[in-house]
Structure 1
């Protein structure tokens, strides 16, 4: 079976995606699958074989090698950010009838949009921070924001990952810089109240037909919060399993499953919560969680004693079973 391991992307997260793709290539069963390293970048799409780039034909997602057309049976998507985590690639693969891993284009688009995700989850009584939504060009009054949310608060791009463009504002003097930082990533931003508690990250997936929580990881950042530097440059301690009571563990597991199912998810995901006063507050969900050596999801798979090759087998099986929406 020809498997396209699709990595890269158009955002600053592409470097993390390329690392994640290598983990998948290393763990795919070489007896079952013939894996191809596919790079989706702003300026070019190509298959990389022995350091040679073979351009991808965007009409049908194939490439030519030795005067033969190579077609794929399935795509394993590990593109972080756009276009692989916001629904664009998924919609494209639907149109050309290529099975792909992870959630479909609607769920991808929904969960990449923080405001819309929070709006959906509010219908299911999922606890979350108080927030304000602002579009670039709007009049922004820092005093009104502080009065509504208190200080400190967080400023985040509405559509971004890996904590890119996220700042914690402790005084209103910090606000202009935080706004510029967030608006550099997206024209829409979310400003959220600060939750003072224990941060945990929960790996959830559809495994053998059931919603399964891989594990709960406690995040102890050396920085003010779990930012890009803490995530990828070693400025945090990640403790699996999290140091929480058994009752609280059950509540986090129950809430994480509820989030996953309420959003109609399939495939790998990682959901972040802040536990405050015994309540897990939803922060965000990642539908293409990082799979680099520094990432949490592989750590949780090891904790669950599930071989990563088995998780990939499961993803490919789900991809092949799912029919494109237009065929249903």
Structure 2
């Protein structure tokens, strides 16, 4: 019997449009012989199943079901394709856990931890994971630009602490523009992180659980035409993503081992994509994404394709792993 799979997409953040694209790609590529795919739009103003004919059916939030033409649909598993809140920060994970519905992303605590760049980096430092020097600010804190520059230097990066897709990120070259960058980041979040600039090649590493094993996908090198890998570079063609990256064997193995270690130390599940700057051939972690972009052009699907994994196999495996994990817990 085919399983009913709800694909949640959208979300409440600036990333919602990207998420809608990711979610639709998942719906379009699930094996129709095995799964009934339902596009579920989780937006600030509505939670609805939006069918291909444009008809919308409200989601019953009491049990996360939907009634279509008089027939109630319960979901065997939820494929989580929400970038940002509430799908990548733990809220949907907690809600679905309470309802006993399996979902494809990591668990609630891991989602909340990795979504918070400051806390995630702090949790990984004791395990020898290198990262940039950083300075933290909360909204309302007094801003001492001189103290910030003395700690992190110039240029530096100002980032919203809990945001993705490079929203709220600025590269600052002069102290006179630092306050403007801070104000921009606070438009996305009430916490920000200011990091020292790391000079080196940038690589992105997808790690997934595939057929029961933690699997490091082929590494991608990011070569941007812009000053850094910003929104325009990510989504508007202003970068080259080279998969597999041209790395010597020893360096590639080092990066793969660190990416696998991050995945395992954080006890992640499902998909992850971690970003690194190579400084003197030492990987420095920038961030960990637990619901990376899933469009055909996105980095993780590129890496899966290079590994010989098709989108139907990639997405179907995520569902089966989630179901297997849920059954193991119940047993």
TM-score range, shorter chain: over 0.9
Separation of aligned partners in 1, 2:48 and 2:152 = 46
State the Cα distance separating 1:324 from its structure 2 match: 9.2
Instruction: Determine the structure 2 residue equivalent to 1:123.
Output: 126
Separation of aligned partners in 2, 1:325 and 1:128 = 36
Q: Is the 8 A contact 1:158 1:189 kept in 2?
A: yes
Instruction: Determine the structure 1 residue equivalent to 2:196.
Output: 193
State the Cα distance separating 1:313 from its structure 2 match: 2.0
Separation of aligned partners in 1, 2:330 and 2:68 = 31
State the Cα distance separating 1:211 from its structure 2 match: 1.2
Deviations 1:254-293 (A, max 9, x none): 1100111111101011100000101000000100000123
Match of 1:139 among 136, 142, 145: 142
2:239 equivalent to 1:267: no
Please state whether the residue corresponding to 2:21 is helix, strand or coil. helix
Separation of aligned partners in 2, 1:290 and 1:301 = 13
Separation of aligned partners in 1, 2:156 and 2:127 = 25
State the Cα distance separating 1:92 from its structure 2 match: 0.4
Instruction: Kindly tell me the number of residue pairs found equivalent between the two proteins.
Output: 328
Deviations 1:147-197 (A, max 9, x none): 111110110011000010000110001111101110000111001010000
Separation of aligned partners in 1, 2:241 and 2:19 = 20
Please state whether the residue corresponding to 2:60 is helix, strand or coil. coil
Instruction: Determine the structure 2 residue equivalent to 1:68.
Output: 71
2:190 equivalent to 1:216: no
Separation of aligned partners in 1, 2:231 and 2:193 = 18
Change (3 A) 1:314 1:105: same
Match of 2:207 among 204, 208, 224: 204
State the Cα distance separating 1:322 from its structure 2 match: 2.2
Instruction: Determine the structure 1 residue equivalent to 2:318.
Output: 315
Q: Is the 8 A contact 2:4 2:35 kept in 1?
A: yes
Change (3 A) 1:324 1:44: farther
Q: Is the 8 A contact 1:199 1:220 kept in 2?
A: yes
Match of 1:102 among 101, 105, 110: 105
Separation of aligned partners in 2, 1:113 and 1:196 = 24
Instruction: Determine the structure 2 residue equivalent to 1:41.
Output: 43
Q: Is the 8 A contact 1:3 1:34 kept in 2?
A: yes
Instruction: Determine the structure 2 residue equivalent to 1:3.
Output: 5
Q: Is the 8 A contact 2:145 2:179 kept in 1?
A: no
Calculate the TM-score normalised by the size of structure 1.
0.97
State the Cα distance separating 1:310 from its structure 2 match: 1.5
Q: Is the 8 A contact 1:218 1:242 kept in 2?
A: yes
Please state whether the residue corresponding to 1:56 is helix, strand or coil. strand
| Structure 2: stretches of 5+ with no match in the other structure | none
Within a 5 Å distance, the mapping from 1:282-297 to structure 2 comes to 282-297=285-300
Instruction: Determine the structure 1 residue equivalent to 2:159.
Output: 156
Change (3 A) 1:194 1:55: same
Match of 1:84 among 73, 83, 87: 87
Runs of 4+ in 1 over 6 A off after TM superposition: 324-328
Deviations 1:62-113 (A, max 9, x none): 1112212111111000000000000000100011111110101111011000
Q: Is the 8 A contact 1:94 1:324 kept in 2?
A: no
2:31 equivalent to 1:15: no
Separation of aligned partners in 2, 1:325 and 1:81 = 28
Separation of aligned partners in 2, 1:200 and 1:124 = 20
Separation of aligned partners in 1, 2:244 and 2:316 = 25
Q: Is the 8 A contact 1:97 1:324 kept in 2?
A: no
